[in-house]
Amino acid sequence: MERIIFYILALIIIAFAIASVSSRKMLRSVIYLLFVLCSIAGIYFLIDYNFLAAIQLTIYAGGIIVLIIFSVLLVHHIEMRLEIAKPSKQFITGLVCLIGLGLFLFTLYSHEFQVVENTATTNITDIGTKLLSYEAGGFILPFEVISVLLLAAMIGAIVIAKGNKLSEKNNPAK
């Protein structure tokens, strides 16, 4: 049962990923991305990382996709068809990607992974403890850094998106 679900999810991920990078309508492209992200959340559910799947759904599907859709709606006409690259460029890029993929897969399948059989489930408490622990293997420092980063990104995004008006006000010389 889980196998079948996984294959379906994998199929959805790959198919919609391809659709997302080749669609000529911007909004559709974003929606396909949404499907991909949701399927990835499905995979997280499958491998028993429920919290991660929830994050994936809320931040990615709920936050990022909405942000992108907003920007698409603001800067594009819905019906606008996107330009696509020259066939020669598409071909060369595709070739390079296929070679790279071949390399990846060849390397993967020739490598012996030491898989540990387990059925352990992870609960949110574990994650929260680990995240805020300052013992060995704790993630308190990255946690603080990422919070500062998020704050900085937020301020930066506001300043940049506000554009010239704000900087003009702040610059009495002008």
Partner 1 sequence: MNYTLVLLIPLIPLAVFLLLGLFNQKIKPAISGLIGVFGLVLTTLFSIYTAFQYFFIIGKDSGAFPSLVEKFIWMNFTDTLRIDMGILIDPISVMMLIVVSTISLMVHIYSRGYMKGDEGYTKFFAFLSLFTFSMYGLVLATNLFQIYIFWELVGVSSYLLIGYYYTKESAVAAAKKAFIVTRFADLGFLIGILLIGFYTGTYDFETLNNPESSAILNWASTSFMGLSVLSWGLILVFIGGAGKSAMFPLHIWLPDAMEGPTPVSALIHAATMVVAGVFLVARLFPMFFFVEEGFVLQIVAFVGAFSSLFAAIIAITQTDIKRVLAYSTMSQLGFMMLALGVSGYDGQDGLGYMASMYHLFTHAMFKALLFLGAGSVIHAVHSNYLKDMGGLRKYMPITNITFLVAALAIAGIPPFAGFWSKDEILVAVYEHNSFLYAIGIIVAGLTAIYIFRIYFGIFWGPNRSYEHTPKESPVSMTFPLIVLAVLSATVGFIPFSDFISPDRMGFEGHINIPLALIAVLVGVIGIAIAWALYKKENALAGRTAQRFGVFYTWAYHKFYLDELYLFVTKNILFKGIAASAAWFDRNIVDGTMNAIGNSTVGISKKIRGIQSGRIQDYAMVFVSGIVLLAIVFIYIWTN
Partner 2 sequence: MIAGITIYELLTVTSILFFIGIYGFITRKNLISILISVELILNASVINFVVINKYMYPDVLQGVLFSIFIIAVAAAETALAVSIIFNLYRQISSVEVKDIETMKY
Residue whose token pair is 């942000």: 67
Question: Which residues inside 114-143 make contact with partner 2, applying CB under 8 A?
Answer: 114-120, 122, 126-127, 130-131, 137, 139, 142
Cα distance between residue 132 and residue 128, in whole Å: 6
Using the contact rule CB under 8 A, the part of the chain among 88-96, 133-141, 148-156, 163-171 near partner 1 is 88-96
Q: Is 122 within 8 Å of 48 (Cβ atoms)?
A: yes
17 vs 173 by CB, closer to partner 2: 17
Residues contacting partner 2: total by CB under 8 A: 84
Report the partner that residue 83 touches, choosing among partner 2, partner 1, none (CB closer than 5 to 8 A by kind).
partner 2
Out of 109, 125, 134, 172, the only residue in the binding site for partner 2 (CB under 8 A) is 109
Residue 100 CB, shortest distance to partner 1, in Å, is 4
Out of 10, 66, 78, 96, the only residue in the binding site for partner 1 (CB under 8 A) is 96
Q: Is 48 within 8 Å of 71 (Cβ atoms)?
A: no
Helix ranges (H only) for the chain are 2-22, 26-46, 50-55, 65-75, 87-109, 124-132, 140-162, 164-170
Contact string (CB under 8 A) for partner 1, positions 97-116, x = contact: x-xx--x---x---------
Cα distance between residue 111 and residue 106, in whole Å: 9
CB atoms within 10 A of CB 157: 11
Tokens of 64: 């990022």
Residue 96 CB, shortest distance to partner 1, in Å, is 5
Amino acid in position 37: L
95 vs 155 by CB, closer to partner 1: 95
Residue 158 near partner 2 by CB under 8 A? yes
Q: Is 174 within 8 Å of 168 (Cβ atoms)?
A: yes
Residue 17 CB, shortest distance to partner 1, in Å, is 17
Q: By CB under 8 A, name the binding residues for partner 1.
A: 92-93, 96-97, 99-100, 103, 107
